[in-house]
């Protein structure tokens, strides 16, 4: 990018105008015209730098009403939702980081070395009991979907939802009516459960998991049973294949209830095109990447 002085000089040269700075006293109209020319140049420069075509405008105004009109216009056909724990708090499921009420602030009874350890794969392999105790408190069947979940279901019913990329493991998207093809459960799910041993991978039903009083272990070599992605583990392959396929054609990205502090999920916000509007619905600000 050029500094204002350089940009002004470049604009003067390209326009072949002797005085774009409004130095002449002959007419105020001449000064206004020169200002318009300079602003047109700057708009064009910024547009080229950002990869946007000059004058490109997707929303008629930067408001929820503007987004709604865009959705109703028929030009918006591929909506992606990115959601986190914040969309389930009104269902009674705590998020992670809210002071006082968040999950990390209420794990004292598990005697963890630090709150995040409950989701660390190395800690889980040695001490799986705290995670399974927490899982029994949060297990599906005890909570109902929220308005956010049914909003995504409505987008699906209207043929507008390309995919919902979710950080949640509570399965409330499925309860609301989204199916496997509609969802990328980036951090795993309670909907399915398999033995973690690569030599076994036996599948267990949700009813069996729910009825298990102690930590569920497979009979093969007493391996834990779950389909949750822990810190330190790779995300499912489908996350990456869908990311490459879905985001280039996205024409509206709706981000709801996530702090965008966990990678690589958080980086998805930058994978849409420069012309794609991004709507953030949150109780508080996230990282600068969404601003």
**Count of residues in the chain:** 291
**85 has binding-site annotation:** yes
Do the Cβ atoms of 215 and 129 come closer than 8 Å? Answer: yes
**259 has binding-site annotation:** yes
Question: Which residues fall within 8 angstroms of residue 106, CB to CB, at 6 or more apart?
Answer: 94
C-alpha dist (Å) from residue 103 to 13, 116, 206: 61, 10, 23
**From the candidates 127, 187, 191, 194, which is the catalytic residue?**
187
**DSSP H or E run through 161:** strand 161-166
> Which residues make beta-bridge pairs with 83?
166, 256
How far, in Å, CA of 178 to CA of 156, rounded? Answer: 8
C-alpha dist (Å) from residue 133 to 59, 190, 216: 47, 14, 11
Do the Cβ atoms of 166 and 186 come closer than 8 Å? Answer: yes
**188 has binding-site annotation:** no
**170 has binding-site annotation:** yes
**96 has binding-site annotation:** yes
272 DSSP assignment: S
Catalytic residue list contains 149? no
**111 has binding-site annotation:** no
**258 has binding-site annotation:** yes
**89 has binding-site annotation:** yes
**DSSP H or E run through 82:** strand 79-83
How far, in Å, CA of 123 to CA of 278, rounded? Answer: 37
Question: Which residues fall within 8 angstroms of residue 94, CB to CB, at 6 or more apart?
Answer: 85, 101, 102, 103, 106
**228 has binding-site annotation:** no
**95 has binding-site annotation:** yes
How far, in Å, CA of 55 to CA of 234, rounded? Answer: 41
**271 has binding-site annotation:** no
**283 has binding-site annotation:** yes
**249 has binding-site annotation:** no
**17 has binding-site annotation:** no
**26 has binding-site annotation:** no
Q: Would you list which residues are annotated within the binding site for Zn(2+)? A: 195, 200, 218, 220
Residue positions annotated with a catalytic role: 187
Q: Would you list which residues are annotated within the binding site? A: 85-89, 95-97, 167-170, 195, 200, 218, 220, 258-259, 282-284
Q: Would you list which residues are annotated within the binding site for NAD(+)? A: 85-89, 95-97, 167-170, 258-259, 282-284
């Amino acid at each position: 990018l050029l500094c204002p002085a350089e940009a002004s000089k470049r604009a003067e040269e390209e326009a072949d105008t002797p005085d774009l700075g409004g130095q002449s006293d002959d007419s105020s109209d001449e000064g206004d015209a020169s200002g318009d020319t300079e602003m047109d140049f700057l708009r064009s420069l910024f547009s080229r730098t950002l990869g946007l075509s000059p004058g490109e405008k997707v929303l008629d105004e930067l408001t929820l009403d503007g987004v709604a009109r865009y959705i109703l216009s028929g030009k918006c056909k591929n909506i992606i939702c990115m959601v986190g724990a914040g969309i389930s708090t009104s269902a009674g499921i705590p998020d992670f980081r809210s002071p006082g009420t968040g999950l990390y602030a209420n794990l004292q009874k598990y005697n963890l070395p630090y709150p995040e350890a409950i989701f660390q794969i190395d800690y889980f392999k040695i001490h799986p009991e705290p995670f399974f105790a927490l899982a029994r408190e949060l297990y599906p069947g005890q909570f109902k979907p929220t308005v956010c979940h049914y909003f995504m279901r409505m987008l699906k019913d209207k043929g507008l939802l390309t995919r919902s990329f979710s950080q949640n493991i509570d399965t409330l998207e499925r309860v609301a009516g989204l199916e496997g093809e509609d969802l990328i459960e980036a951090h795993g799910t309670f909907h399915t459960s398999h033995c973690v041993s690569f030599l076994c991978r036996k599948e267990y039903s949700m009813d069996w998991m729910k009825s298990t009083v102690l930590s569920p272990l497979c009979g093969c070599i007493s391996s834990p049973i779950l389909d949750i992605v822990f810190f330190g583990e790779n995300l499912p392959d489908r996350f990456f294949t869908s990311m490459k396929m879905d985001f280039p054609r996205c024409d509206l990205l709706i981000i709801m209830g996530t702090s965008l502090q966990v990678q690589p999920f958080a980086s998805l916000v930058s994978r849409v095109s420069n012309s794609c509007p991004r709507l953030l619905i949150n109780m508080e600000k996230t990282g600068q990447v969404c601003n």
